[in-house]
Structure 1
Amino acid sequence: MSTVVKGVALTTPLSRMTALARAELTLLGRTRGALVAALFVPLVMPVSVRSAAEEMDLAGAGLNTGTLVLPAAVGFSLLFAVYSVLVGSFVVRREELVLKRLRTGELRDVEILAGSALPAVLTGLVQCLLLAAGCSVLLDLSAPSAPQLSVLGLLLGLVLCAALAAATASLTRTGESAQVTPMPLLLVSMMGSGMFVPLELLPDKLASVCELLPLTPVVTLVRGGWTGDLSGYEALGAVATAVAWTVLAVFAVRRWFRWEPRR
C-alpha cells in the first residue's frame, strides 16, 4: 500500500516488504535445489521417523507413534523449508550484490531481511499445517489437548529459524559453502531435539543438555500441545529457551551480517 503526499507516492514498510517477497518467491521457484529441500525433504523424513518409532518403547514415555512423528515433521519443515533454504538465499543474494543494491533504496535493513525471508516462512507455515493435518489423519491422532502451545511453538519456530538462517549466512562465504554451513544445526537438531528420539528416552544428563538446543523448545511445545502433558513451568521454560536463542541470533545478525560479498 502507498500514499500520495503532494504528488509524491510514499510506500509503506508493508508494501515494500510485500514487493520484495513477491520477487523472492519468483526466484525461489526457479531454484530446483531449494524447491527440493523445501517441498520434498520434509515430506520424506517423517517416514524414517515412523520406522524408527517401531523400535522404541514410546508407551513407557507416555507417547505414541503419532506424537513422535507429528512434532518431528514440523521440525523437519522448519529446518529444511525455512532454515536451510534461507541460508542459501541470503548468501546467494549477497554474492550477487542484490542485498547491496536493495540498501540503496527505500528499504531498511530489517525490511530487506524480513521481505527476503517471507516466502520461505510462509512455505514452512503452510507445510507444517498440512503435515499436521496429514499426520492426524494417517496416524489416528486425536485433537490437540492444548492447541495454543502447538501454535505458539510453531510461530516461535518460524521466527527462530529465520533468525538463525540470517546468523548462519553471516558466517558463510559463498553459495557453495551455504550447502555445508547449515549441516551442524540440521544434524544436531534432528538427533538431539526430540525429533528422532524423544528426550524422555534419553539419559537424564543428556536430556538436560538437549533441552537447551535451539529447536528443542519448538518440538517440546508442539508435542506438549498434542499430549497435554506439558506443565506451565515446562512450557515457560521452553518459551524462554526459544526466545533466548532468537535474541542471540538477532544480536549475531546485527553484529556480523555482511551485506556485500566477502573478499
Structure 2
Amino acid sequence: MTTLTQTPTRATRASSAPRGTTGLAGSLRRVVSLVRAETTLLLRNRTALFNGVALAPAMVAFLHFSGALEAVVGDGAGASVVGAFALTSLICFALMFVVYYNLASAYVARREELVLKRLRTGQCSDAEILIGAATPAVVTMLGQLVLGGAAIALWIGLDAPANVVLLLVAVLGGTFVFAALAAASTAFTRTLESVQLSTLPIMALALLLSGTTLPLALLPERLQTLAAFTPLHPVGELLTIGLTGLGPDGVAVGFGETFALAAQPLAILLAWCVIGAWLAARYMRWEPRR
C-alpha cells in the first residue's frame, strides 16, 4: 500500500502550533527574535554598520563644510533655516543609506543563505520576516534623527518644529516607502556583491531630484515637475514645511496652514506607499535564482 505524504500548509502548521505561538503575542515574540538576530548580524558587519551609523552624518557634515547647504538654501537664509535644511538632508540620506541600501543588502544576503526560505516554511509570516529585518535599520535611522537634530541645533541652529505631525508622517512614510523598495529591489539583484550596482540608479535619482543635494531651480522646468513625483522629494518637502513652517514665498504660516501647504506632497507620499507595497508584494524574491 502506498502512503501519500503532503507538505503541510502554513495554515495547517499554524493550527497545530503549540499554544501561545499564534495570535498577536506569538507574532510579537517572533518579530522580537528576528530583530535580535538581525541586530547581532548588523553589529558583526562592519561595512553595514558604517553605512548605517556614520555615512549619512558624514555626508551632511561634508555638505555643511563645503558650503553646499548654504548654496542650496540661499545666502540670505537664517541659521535656523540652514539648520532645518541640514536636518532634512540628514533624514533623506539616512533613508537612502540606512533604510534602502542596508535593507536591500540584508534581504539579498538572507535570501542567498536560504534564511528567508527556511523562515517562510516555519510559523513566521512574510510581514513578520520583513518587519524583523527592517527594525534594526529603522531604529538606527531614528537614533540618527534624534542625535543629529541635537547636534545641528547646537552646531548650526534649529528652531522648534512648526508642525510635528508632518515630521512624523514624513519620517514614517519615507521609511515605509524605501523599506518596500528595498524588498522590491531584490528582484533585479542576483548577489550580495551586486547590491551596490543595482541600488545605485534609485539612490542617485532620488537624491539628485529630492532638492537636498542641488537647487532644483537649476533644472529645466519639466524636470522640476518630474522631480516632485519622485519618492524622496515629498519627504523632503514635508520635512521642510514641518520644521520651518515657511510657505513658497518664504513667509511663515500658521499651524493649520502648514497642512494646506503639505497637501500635494502628502498625496504623492501616500501614492508611493501604495506603489511600494505593491512592488514589494509582487517582486520580492524569497529564494535564490538557480
State the distance in 2 between where 1:72 and 1:13 align: 35
Q: Deviations over 1:169-218 (max 9, x none)?
A: 22211111112211112111221101112446655433221111101111
The answer as to 2:121 corresponding to 1:104 is yes
Which of 218, 225, 250 is residue 277 of structure 2 equivalent to?
A: 250
* Structure 2 portions without partners, runs of 5+: 1-15, 248-257
Q: Give the count of matched residue pairs.
A: 259
| SS in structure 2 at match of 1:181 | helix
Distance 1:235 1:115, change over 3 A: same
Point out the more displaced range, 6-15 or 162-171: 6-15
Distance 1:223 1:197, change over 3 A: same
Q: Partner of 1:210 in structure 2?
A: 227
Matched AA of 1:38: G
TM-score by length of 2: 0.82
Matched AA of 2:240: R
The answer as to 2:62 corresponding to 1:45 is no
Q: Partner of 1:149 in structure 2?
A: 166
State the distance in 2 between where 1:61 and 1:214 align: 26
TM-score by length of 1: 0.90
State the distance in 1 between where 2:179 and 2:18 align: 38
Q: Partner of 1:177 in structure 2?
A: 194
Matched AA of 1:237: Q
Which of 122, 127, 145 is residue 144 of structure 2 equivalent to?
A: 127
How far 1:53 sits from its partner (Å)? 2.8
The answer as to 2:285 corresponding to 1:261 is no
Q: What is the CA RMSD across the aligned residues, in angstroms?
A: 2.3
Matched AA of 1:207: Q
How far 1:89 sits from its partner (Å)? 0.2
* Structure 1 portions without partners, runs of 5+: none
State the distance in 1 between where 2:70 and 2:77 align: 14
Distance 1:203 1:7, change over 3 A: closer
Matched AA of 1:53: L
State the distance in 1 between where 2:115 and 2:77 align: 49
Matched AA of 1:196: T
Q: Deviations over 1:141-178 (max 9, x none)?
A: 11111222112211111111111111112221111111
State the distance in 2 between where 1:90 and 1:100 align: 11
Q: Is the 8 A contact 2:103 2:137 kept in 1?
A: yes
How far 1:138 sits from its partner (Å)? 1.2
Distance 1:56 1:156, change over 3 A: closer
| SS in structure 1 at match of 2:198 | coil
Matched AA of 1:228: G
Distance 1:7 1:171, change over 3 A: closer
Which of 7, 12, 21 is residue 10 of structure 1 equivalent to?
A: 21
Distance 1:97 1:208, change over 3 A: same
Pick the structure with greater CA Rg.
2
Q: Partner of 2:156 in structure 1?
A: 139
Q: Deviations over 1:66-108 (max 9, x none)?
A: 2321100111111111111000000000000000000111101
| SS in structure 2 at match of 1:66 | helix
